Chains A and B, each alone.
Chain A
């Protein structure tokens, strides 16, 4: 892989973060227009987590996420058209309209969902890592979850096995401070979730997500550890979501001032400031913005114009 100049690298990461934010804003709008049903969990504010983390992965590496999976999917390079079409429930969606917002899959990109059961997916991710080790391949699996997932048993069983069997797994807890509407102070006795690693003898790390390059570098260390030594790592990224848990969340559990304060450490704002400082012009940034807007508009149009899945798909995939 050629070494990119720091500015080029940041430009690429900034573009991905901006794509996620504009995609999510368009999703929210489509939801309010009734074009998206069910649950819609937005990633706005957390973009640097997936973008920085997944910048370290290669083709053979795998990803397992929770229901807040749009940002992870886009950061992995999944098509915005297929993702938006999935939200619209269309047959052109990444899961043919059978999965929905919580269940984005892409076999080619090795994106294994989009899982709607908190904690249960961590063991699945450990299984993907187990398979890499079983086959003697130097692949890494990255698993995303929220801090609301670290109290449930599945998380602990998966960590226990991943460490016992030395699986090439990186578990990233996106600590956005709220487990749905319940703040950290009422869900966890120890607020630093990376400390859960100690009981399992796992490596751990903890850092914020305001600087996407720093996220990339720190997760990169864990990915290298997994790839080279087949040792798992538990990482807590300290992040924040600006929107509610889902679209039906009025956010009465926190103040508008708190949200505004947290926007001051926004990763996209920081990336743009750093790019300007490195000599990228406002015109260049405006061009990126325009390109992303066009890409998202295209995705929405594609989703809107795509066909509904036919009735024949109800049972078609029940059995192989």
Chain B
């Protein structure tokens, strides 16, 4: 075990996979000479050269499409979006090309590509730079979507994403890049499609992912002082979705809360709630509730931003609301 920061874990994953497979290359804005907008790719240009660490002009549709074409003929591109918000102008490449090539070609062409970058609110970056993208992309058959919340998962899930024969979208988080955590030695791969139980408890099962895990765990500690022990499931992979541990936990607790940073309308939380009511209806003692971001575009003001994103406090209130049934 070694302690790394989240951004270093991502960098290790990229470097190790580039080392083992010449087909893997990194492409995006400022990934090379600038060393990465968030320093994820620091040192990679010096190590791998301009052939494999490719700086691009501001052309998200263009370089996302270049990645798709290169993947169709067997390369394994890692396309970095400086933020997932900029993927909006590459939407066509991701949903109309990457996701559909295999189906449209009757299985003749695959698209083994990784799109990655920070997702969700950073700090006071305003409405256009603070969105959560999981609802948009998990909706699309043909795409896989992962959201690592821990340092070990940042490395392990990215390694799996690079080795996957499908388009995989890695939702990182600007607020997590500096997070420290332990990473196993060696080829620390984390499989896509396997959720992780982060805490055990018998009161409420909390389902979450990404940086919200770091709101949920402190909330659980506060509640534990009152004798309320919550189980926490970190989904890690949002498509495919592994709800096995969630359903097993609900068999014990009979109660569930979904915590997401994203907006409430539709989305991953709604999908989780639907599956719980279908697959664990008999175990439920009350409705499954959700704690979500507020249903508004992100305000710039710090106080208002803090109120818009779920906090430790709103998670505690969410648990109480579930228990009130």
Contact = CB atoms under 8 A, between A and B. Distances in A.
A95 B66 contact: no
Given A64-B69, A112-B109, A125-B69, A318 B63 contact: no
A112 B109 CA distance: 8
Chain A: interface size category: 35 or more
Contacts of A113: 101, 104-105
Interface in B51-70: 51, 56-57, 59, 61-70
A61 to B, nearest CB: 12
Most chain B C-beta atoms within 10 Å of own C-beta, residue among A97, A125, A154: A154
Interface stretch (A6-14, A158-166, A267-275): A158-166
A123 B65 contact: yes
B65 A317 contact: no
Given A120-B93, A161-B62, A319 B70 contact: no
A316 interface: yes
B75 A320 contact: no
Nearest to A106: B108
**Nearest 6 CB-CB pairings of A with B:** A127-B69, A123-B65, A157-B62, A96-B106, A105-B105, A320-B165
A160 B72 CA distance: 21
Interface string A90-110: 000111111100010111000
Contact of A130 (B66, B92, B93, B103): B66
Interface string B138-173: 000110100000000000000000000110000000
Given A131-B69, A134-B75, A126 B62 contact: yes
B73 interface: yes
A191 B92 CA distance: 27
A122 B104 contact: no
A131 B93 CA distance: 17
B102 A158 contact: no
B74 interface: yes
B186 interface: no
A128 B92 contact: no
B106 A95 contact: yes
Given A95-B104, A157-B59, A317-B106, A123 B72 contact: no
Most chain A C-beta atoms within 10 Å of own C-beta, residue among B56, B70, B102, B144: B70
Most chain A C-beta atoms within 10 Å of own C-beta, residue among B61, B77, B166: B61
A161 B57 contact: yes
Nearest to B105: A105
Contacts of B73: 62, 112, 128, 131-132
Chain B: interface size category: 35 or more
A112 B69 contact: yes
Given A93-B106, A130-B69, A319 B92 contact: no
A11 to B, nearest CB: 32
Most chain B C-beta atoms within 10 Å of own C-beta, residue among A62, A161, A316: A161
A58 to B, nearest CB: 15
Nearest to B96: A117
Contact of B62 (A93, A116, A123, A129): A123
B108 to A, nearest CB: 4
Interface of B: 25, 51, 56-57, 59, 61-75, 77, 89, 92-93, 96-97, 101-110, 112, 141-142, 144, 165-166
Contact of B57 (A103, A164, A318): A164
Contacts of B51: 134
Contacts of B74: 131
A316 B69 contact: no
Given A317-B102, A320-B102, A105 B108 contact: yes
Contacts of B112: 320
A124 interface: yes
Contacts of A131: 69-70, 73-75
Contact of B66 (A62, A98, A106, A161): A161
A126 B69 contact: yes
A183 interface: no
B93 A107 contact: no
A98 B141 CA distance: 15
A123 B64 contact: yes
A96 B107 contact: yes
A199 B160 CA distance: 41
B110 A127 contact: no
Contact of A99 (B65, B105, B141): B105
A124 B97 contact: yes
Contacts of A107: 105, 108-109
Most chain B C-beta atoms within 10 Å of own C-beta, residue among A112, A123, A131, A161: A123
A42 to B, nearest CB: 20
A128 B142 CA distance: 21
Contact of A154 (B65, B70, B72): B65
